[in-house]
Amino acid sequence: MLGEGQKLGEKEKLKRVNDFFNQRIAFDDDISIWGQPDYWATPLELMGMGRGDCEDFAIAKYYSLQAMGVPVAKLRLVYVRARQSGPNGPVLQAHMVLAYYASPHAEPLILDNLKPEILPASRRSDLSPIFSFNSAGLWRGTGNQTSKSTLSRWQDLLMRARAEGFE
């Protein structure tokens, strides 16, 4: 996927990567996989286990698109509240997706493991963004105001991913 993807346009890269992970990786929670309540897996850890949670899907898509030549500035991991159906009505659940910005002020496209279709953020009324980040910074919501905050789990993942050869 990564080798062939180098030659594709960015929209096709998004589709290939989103489909690849959504169709090959099973969703499971961190307690079942790692024996801890919250663990952010590197792409190699995710592929090795063959299952992961929403953060793991989003992170693997982020690194894969980056490896295929999509600039980091166009990609953000977005922590959201996802409205899902529950037995007693709608429930809000913490969730993570990957957002792709064709240009700095463009409406992002959302890559998600819950819904396989890549849609503009405006068509994902089930998602409420809290903050977004990539290896260049951290933002409130999906906006352009950066913060000096760091995410310790993200910093830990970046270090482990670099050790595995990811930039």
Domain chopping of the chain, boundaries: 2-163
Amino acid identity, residue 36?
A: Q
Residue 35: the pLDDT is 96
- pTM equals 0.88
* pLDDT, tens digit, 9 for 90 and up, residues 30-49: 999 999 999 999 999 999 99
Q: Could you tell me which residue, 149 or 132, shows the higher pLDDT?
A: 132
* pLDDT, tens digit, 9 for 90 and up, residues 54-111: 999 999 999 999 999 999 999 999 999 999 888 888 889 999 999 999 999 999 999 9
Q: Does pLDDT of 117 surpass 60? A: yes
Residue 66 Rama label (left phi>0; alpha psi -120 to 50; beta): alpha
Q: Could you tell me which residue, 22 or 144, shows the higher pLDDT?
A: 22
- Kindly report the CATH number that applies to the domain delimited by 2-163: 3.10.620.30
Residue 139: the pLDDT is 78
The length of the chain is 167
Amino acid identity, residue 76?
A: R
Give how far Cα 72 sits from Cα of 53, 93, 120, 135, 139, Å: 22, 27, 19, 7, 14
Q: Does pLDDT of 53 surpass 70? A: yes
